[in-house]
Chain A
Amino acid sequence: MRDNLLIMLALTFIPYSLAALGGGHSVLAGIQHTAVDVNGWIASDTFAELFAAARIAPGPGSMLVTLIGWKMAGWSGAAIATLAFFLPSSILCLAAMHGITRYGETKWMLVLQDALQPIGAGLVLAGAVTILTVGEGNLLEWVLALAIAVIAYLRPSFHPLLLLSAGSCVLLAVN
């Protein structure tokens, strides 16, 4: 039973590793869909809590998968989920790196870049909507998120952590 759980975790995250076009956060919507809606592994508000914890903690925001594995199967679950999410894309990356140094930057690489970027951008937007609906999802949070989006868009030099803590301060002050 426990082995099945670990295998299922691995089989779940390996495809997301390879589908994460434009960065780990692009598969947020898919991971939420699989973990909460389809399999019911974790409750919606737990997912929001894990997401926030991964954002506060150091390292890539994708460490969310580590926490899902941890909630499901403890240390071994955390390890398997982490490997399943970070290893396949890394191996693909090394293989591609080998090909690129051999053949140089071709016209096809530029076309591929043009083609994959809009998919990645659409996925990131889907991830944003997913994470905003998965939490309490009240009007105030949406307004706050949009305000932070405008600030981050106009001032890319602002540190993300500054904007995250600004968001927390606003909600703490209101409550």
Chain B
Amino acid sequence: MIAIPDSDGTGSSESLPPPTLFGLFSIAFRTGIFSFGGGISAWLHREFVLVRPWISEGEFMARMTTAQILPGANVTNLTVMIGMRLFGLRGAAVALFGLLIGPFFGVIGILQVIDILQGWWGMKPLLAGVTAGAGGLLIAMACRSGQQFVTRLPLLVVMLSTFILVGILRLPLVPVVLGLIPISIGAALWAKK
């Protein structure tokens, strides 16, 4: 993956059409409606880096890190940054709109279908299975993220405190997060030593 050249005009990018606002919209739109069950970042990587050399590999990875650090859904962060990078604020707005408009109607449509099928005996276990599966995926995600803190105890303490305060004691999430940020910065500095 690292072997992909940056956009330094070595020839390959000249044969491909330059980015257009409509192209940006249609990629964001397709990404939105064809990405089921997560893994949207991989889609964006394919569309913007591999299929069209609009963004370099290195820049995509850097933006991805930024998207993950900052609050908000990672995909939307990544998409608005790519849009901003290609066409400024206009591009960011078009990319965000394109990404969300399909899922907006899609999710409401799915809910209507579920409501219509409510009488069917299988609907309840089917949805319960999805919920259980999604819960399992979240546990796996937290564990994968948490394993890197095993060697950095202060950060593990922050993770478990967050979980206990919000997940077990059910304290309001936003104040807890605001209160934990300075503590966690201290923990991160301490763990670095």
Q: Which residues of A contact B (CB under 8 A)?
A: 15-25, 27-30, 33, 37, 48-63, 66-67, 70, 78-79, 82, 86-90, 92-94, 96-97, 100, 105, 109, 111-132, 135-136, 141-142, 144-153, 156, 159-161, 163-172, 174-175
Contact = CB atoms under 8 A, between A and B. Distances in A.
A106 to B, nearest CB: 13
A167 B130 contact: yes
A27 B159 CA distance: 14
B131 A131 contact: yes
A153 B93 CA distance: 35
B100 A53 contact: no
Secondary structure of the B contact surface, majority rule = helix
A58 B33 contact: yes
Interface stretch (B9-17, B19-27, B45-53, B135-143): B135-143
Q: How large is the interface on B (under 10, 10 to 19, 20 to 34, 35 or more residues)?
A: 35 or more
A163 B111 contact: no
A29 B111 CA distance: 21
The 3 closest A-B pairs by CB, nearest first: A59-B103, A89-B72, A122-B162
Secondary structure of the A contact surface, majority rule = helix
Nearest to B110: A57
Contacts of A160: 36-39, 137
Q: Specify which of B96, B124, B127, B192 lies most central, judged by the most chain A CB atoms within 10 Å of its CB.
A: B127
A25 B136 CA distance: 13
Contacts of B70: 89, 92-93, 96
Nearest to A140: B132
Contacts of A172: 122, 125-126, 129
Given A130-B167, A131-B134, 8 more contacts: A18-B71, A23-B72, A33-B173, A105-B62, A113-B69, A117-B145, A128-B138, A146-B136
A38 B38 CA distance: 29
Contacts of B140: 148-153, 156
